[in-house]
A and B are shown apart, each in its own frame.
Chain A
Amino acid sequence: MSIRRSIEWLPAVVVFVGAIAIWDVSIRIFHIQQFLLPKPGAIVSSFWNERHTLWPAGWYTFKEALGGFAGGSLLGMLTATVIGRFRVVGTALMPIAIAANAVPIIAFAPIFDVWFNPLSPHSKMAIAGVLCFLPVMVNTLRGLQSASPRQIELMRSYACRDFEIWRRVRVPAALPYVFTALKIASVLAMIGAIVGEYFGGSFSALGVLINSDASIFNFQRAWAGILVASLLGLGLYAAVVIVERVVVRWAPASRDS
């Protein structure tokens, strides 16, 4: 099994290493300016040399993303539960929610900075949270409604009350949908926090650091900052996938993540 798994991963590893190599070689061949695109090696060495600045900044931003992810997702699931329970609320809110989902919410980032203190992490949490809320809400609601009418009919034949049906059928049926949404939300939360910081924030934040490094032509550290953000984003996504594997045990193993 583990050997087969490593063979499955092999093409991706080859492509990744190849891309890095092409990147490095093209810079040498075409004499690409350092400020346009630094060499991968230079980014990695900056990532290490500046670790005392970059990593705490990354952690600071990660906490904002995590706070927004947790808050926005919880609120999304809660809202979906209420909407799923009371159809009237749903018919009133769903069209608005779907329309809101198409709005580029990140455009509100400067407004949130005004509403909350731009220097406090709360303004970034709010942006990340709002970004996470809608996909989680819409997917959870779809999940709660995904149980088949036959499944519900069967439970009714056992004289089950609505709560029992919700607990034993609707919630488990919704879980795959919820995790799909949480994976999307984990990515959005990191984007929300970083982009929020581009509009201003504490100097201990990663987005502020990347932004200011780029404006003073310190591109190596800016790229190293992007690397930190990417790794943290991947980490959050991977954490969600691991929890999904544990919770949604019944899914076919071949299912992609």
Chain B
Amino acid sequence: MSAAEPVVRIEGVTKTFGHGNVTALQDIDLAFAPKEFVSLIGPSGCGKSTLLRVIGDLIEPTQGAVTVNGKRARQARADHDYGIVFQDAVLFEWRTVSKNIALPLELLGWDRARRKARVEEMLELVELQTFGDHYPWQLSGGMQQRVAIARALAFEPALLLMDEPFGALDEMTRERLNLELLAIWQKLASTVVFVTHSISEAVFLSTRVVVMSPRPGRIAGTVDIDLTSPRTAETREDPRFFELVTQVRELLRLRGEHLLPEEEQLLRDAAE
């Protein structure tokens, strides 16, 4: 791991729901360096989305703490350190594309001229220059998601949190947006935390893949992705790419046959 001061430090985070009956996350320790692109991957129920929300201070951990740039997560949220992109674009249907991108800037109190200039920049970045005055319903799913990315990056947050942002898109759109996202990430200084359940997507995009296992949500292992940068469409045909995909898959399989709590209990009872 990089020697630089981590952007995100997760220390001993545990999260239980329903009066402690369900343990979504157990003893998570992680640190993300500046400019890292970290993917969280695992089967559904492994707590990857919960972990993302704990990092973003949208869910409070039961135990442990998250610090972002040396601050408590609560303070980081108040300081607008987070840009978030969800699985669906979550655009505000009464705002045009430009106004959607400008929303966080309005909340930050930027004046009109500064907002306008930045929105233009962002529209160019996601190649939607001619769509600024369109309403969200007039755009395709892929275009809507690009607007959501532009909105999340408009105020240059230290941390970009993405919760399966391309999960609802078709494979071709998804691969194109993967490349676009990498190009954008290269230009900006943000650290990205990316939740996905696609192994190839995680390997293709990331500098590091964190594999999680379910019930309770734990870290099964991490894989450093040493593919050459910048990545292109050919990267997907690189033998190293397949090795890394296999590595991640092995880690998932190893922990994939995890037992349900009831089953564990049965085994424990049998042993006694």
Contacts and interface: CB of A to CB of B under 8 A. Distances in A.
Contacts of B135: 250
Contacts of A26: none
Given A250-B95, A250-B135, A252-B137, A154 B82 contact: no
A164 B96 CA distance: 19
B80 A159 contact: yes
A172 B104 contact: no
Interface stretch (A59-67, A97-105, A145-153): A145-153
Contact of B84 (A157, A160, A173, A248): A157
B102 to A, nearest CB: 12
B56 A157 contact: yes
B92 interface: yes
Contact of A158 (B86, B92, B93, B107): B107
Interface string A224-257: 0000000000000000000000001110100000
A175 interface: yes
B82 A151 contact: no
A159 to B, nearest CB: 5
B151 to A, nearest CB: 9
Contacts of B88: 150
Interface string A155-183: 01111100010001100110100000000
Contacts of A157: 56, 58, 77, 82, 84
A252 B77 CA distance: 35
A150 to B, nearest CB: 4
Contacts of B79: 159
Contacts of A252: 137
B90 A169 contact: no
B168 to A, nearest CB: 12
Contacts of A168: 92, 103
Given A175-B94, A250-B94, A252-B137, A159 B78 contact: yes
B54 to A, nearest CB: 13
Contacts of A169: 92
- Looking at chain B, what size class is its interface with the partner chain? 20 to 34
Nearest to B78: A159
Nearest to A175: B94
Contacts, number: 46
Contacts of B84: 153-154, 157
Contacts of B90: 148, 150-151, 154
Contacts of B78: 159
A249 B86 CA distance: 26
A159 B92 contact: no
A70 to B, nearest CB: 25
B92 A164 contact: no
B8 to A, nearest CB: 15
Given A157-B77, A250-B93, A250-B94, A164 B107 contact: yes
B89 to A, nearest CB: 9
A173 B91 CA distance: 12
A52 B107 CA distance: 58
Interface in B103-142: 103-104, 107, 135, 137
B179 to A, nearest CB: 25
B192 to A, nearest CB: 15
Given A156-B58, A250-B93, A250-B94, A150 B86 contact: yes
21 contacts: A151-B92, A153-B58, A153-B86, A154-B84, A154-B90, A156-B58, A158-B80, A159-B77, A159-B78, A159-B80, A159-B107, A160-B107, A168-B92, A169-B92, A172-B94, A175-B94, A249-B94, A250-B93, A250-B96, A250-B137, A252-B137
Interface of A: 148, 150-151, 153-154, 156-160, 164, 168-169, 172-173, 175, 248-250, 252
7 closest cross-chain pairs (CB), A and B:
A172-B94, A150-B90, A250-B94, A159-B78, A157-B84, A250-B135, A158-B107
